[in-house]
Amino acid sequence: MNTKLTGVILFLALAGVGWADEPTADVELTIEIPRMNVSEYHRPYVAVWIQDEDRQAVANLTVWYQMTESQEGAGTKWLPDLRQWWRRSGRSLKMPVDGVSAATRPAGDHKLSFAFTDPRFAKLSPGDYSLVVEASREVGGRELLTLPFTWPSEKLQVQEAKGEEELGEIKLTLQPAK
Amino acid sequence: MKRFFLSTLLLVSLLPATSFAHKVWLRPSQTVLSGPEPWVTVDAAVSNDLFYFNHFPLRLDGLEIIAPSGTAVTAENQSVGKYRSVFDLPLTEKGTYRIAIVNRGVFAGWEEDGERKRFRGTPEMLADAIPANAENVQVTESIGRIETFVTNGAPSIESIQPTGEGVELVPLTHPNDLYAGETTKFRLVVNGEPVEGMEVTVIRGETRYRNAQDEVQLTTDANGEFSVAWDEPGMYWLETSTEDKKTSVPQANSRRLSYAATLEVLPQ
């Protein structure tokens, strides 16, 4: 753990040197969508939200779904397949949601950054939370990963998880508050 | 006891749609939907197995659909087949739709010149059906409600309030918010009033793929309430029935009330 943490700090330090003009985001999330060798591949729907200890959704960070019109219309029909997100939050939203909904993304690593001043974080009352990533794929499966964190962020928090099917590695980094 | 048995037999022969052995049900293609105008398609049948079409179609005459706003809506593409009835419903409003088949009828038995005669139909048809020389006339009124619920977007409760007629289920937890591993509380009302001691049967579908019905028997408490713990996800069938003397048909001396609902329990 110590060496890992040192590694992270070292990396951050080096990153700081390398891209000095690009300040490190307060909250950074990377989501890996695995590359799959299947005959019929559809990009997954992905929802990312923050829930409190009672599993109540307190903030929506992102929802990737098929936003363009197809024969079946826009892809809102399949949003309930993100079962937990739909129950905790999605079903009471009017899609699309500004700053939250976005188009589906291809396989690979995707980075999301948030500032502590983002209202979705700034409005959190102090306590323990989970960041939840749920992915669901047409003619595929569904997977949900949870990363715990404490708010406000007093020290560097790094949480990682790895999915087995629909999600690859996900990593959450919260910088200490300045 | 013997009389009870006889009347039971009579019921089975006259009212297959509300008999003990056969299960009557409406089964929606899904219960939780989203989009500008998602459609749900519903099967209606009477069968031994849940939810397979192997006995009778369920007639759609008594179809009553209440939209989230409280207005009555008509189902599209209604069709009665050999083993099942089918209809479609576009969910143009956001919220919960109550889909029900309500059967209001009478059945009568009498003796005419020493022969037993039977009749089943509407209360209006009753006067013409029973001849003047009929003896030992027994008339029973029946109200049967078979229902299910579907929701577009966030669940709403306006359409699922009890109407005050017959047996109804009051979901204290929303019927389209049921999850495996959780427990749901319901209340049963008869004519809008809670009734203690009603026996409820709950069976998970897919009975064809197991050796036993695995039914759960529950009884309502003093508030007419009971709880169901959902062990597994799936489509579930819930059934209860009762009898009373609160008839609305003048010739009837007893009333038989039945209720059945299909509920979907989702995985966590």
Distance CA B263, CA B53 (A): 18
Residue B204 forms part of a structural domain: yes
For chain A, say whether B29 makes contact (Cβ under 8 Å).
no
Q: How far A96 CA lies from chain B's nearest CA (Å)?
A: 11
B38: nearest CB among A77, A87, A91: A77
In the numeric block, which tokens belong to residue B189?
């009302």
Contact A91 B33 (CB under 8 A): no
The rounded percent of chain A whose pLDDT value lies above 90 is 75
Interchain CB contact of B33 with A (< 8 Å):
yes
Residue in the block written with tokens 């990312």: A48
The band of B149, judged by pLDDT with boundaries at 50, 70 and 90, is very high
Instruction: Answer with the residue of higher pLDDT: B21 or A172.
Output: A172
* pLDDT on residue A69: 82
B166 and A CB contact within 8 Å: no
What's the pTM value of the predicted model, to 2 decimals? 0.85
- The region of weakest confidence among A40-54, B68-82, B217-231, B246-260 is B246-260
Contact B32 A86 (CB under 8 A): yes
Q: Which residue type does A106 have?
A: P
Cis peptide bond upstream of A121, omega within 30: no
CB contact under 8 A, A91 and B155: yes
Distances (CA, A) of A10 to A3, A24, A30, B267: 10, 14, 19, 43
Domains of chain A by residue range: 32-174
Q: Provide the shortest C-alpha distance from residue B32 to chain A (in Å).
A: 7
Count Cβ atoms within 10 A of the Cβ of residue A18 and give its class: 0-12 exposed, 13-18 middle, 19 or more buried. exposed
Q: Is the pLDDT of residue B103 over 60?
A: yes
Closest chain A residue to the Cα of B91, Cα to Cα = A77
The distance of Cα B209 from the centroid of its chain, to the nearest Å, equals 24
Share of chain B above pLDDT 90, in %: 76
pLDDT in tens, B6-32: 444 344 334 434 445 689 999 999 999
The whole-number average pLDDT for the span A130-154 is: 96
Contact A145, A139 (CB under 8 A): no
- Across the range B150-179, mean pLDDT stands at 95
* CATH code of residue B189: 2.60.40.3880
Distance from CA of A106 to the nearest CA of B (A): 24
Q: How many structural domains compose chain B?
A: 1
Contact A104, A138 (CB under 8 A): no
Within 8 A of B154 by CB-CB distance, chain A residues are: 91-92
Assign 3-state DSSP to chain A and report helix, strand, coil percentages, each to 5.
20, 35, 45
| Secondary structure of residue A166 in the 3-state scheme | coil
Q: What is the 3-state secondary structure (H, E, C) of chain B?
A: CHHHHHHHHHHHHHCHHHCCCCEEEEEECCCEECCCCCEEEEEEEEECCCCCCCCEECCCCCEEEECCCCCEECCEEEEECCCCEEEEEECCCCEEEEEEEEEEEEEEEEEECCEEEEEEECHHHHHHHCCCCCEEEEEEEEEEEEEEEEEECCCCCHHHCCCCCCEEEEECCCCCCCECCCEEEEEEEECCEECCCCEEEEEECCHHHCCCCCCEEEECCCCCEEEEECCCCEEEEEEEEEEECCCCCCCCCEEEEEEEEEEEEECC
| H/E element, A17 | helix A2-18
More confident call, B1 vs B258: B258
Pair A130, A147: CB distance under 8 Å: yes
| Range from A37-41, A56-60, A69-73 that averages highest in pLDDT | A56-60
Instruction: Read off the pLDDT of each residue in B200-214 and give the average, rounded to a whole number.
Output: 94
Instruction: Give the pLDDT of residue A71.
Output: 77
pLDDT confidence bin for A1, thresholds 50/70/90: very low
Distance CA A47, CA B218 (A): 39
Number of A/B CB contacts below 8 angstroms equals: 32
Chain A hits for B36, Cβ within 8 Å = 73, 76
DSSP 8-state secondary structure symbol assigned to residue A74 = S
Structural domain includes residue B26: yes
A154 versus B13: which is more confidently predicted? Answer: A154
Give burial (CB, 10 Å; 0-12/13-18/19+) of B144.
buried
Element (H, E) at A15: helix A2-18
Domain of residue B79: give its range. 2-105+140-265
Look at residue B258 and tell me whether its pLDDT is greater than 60.
yes
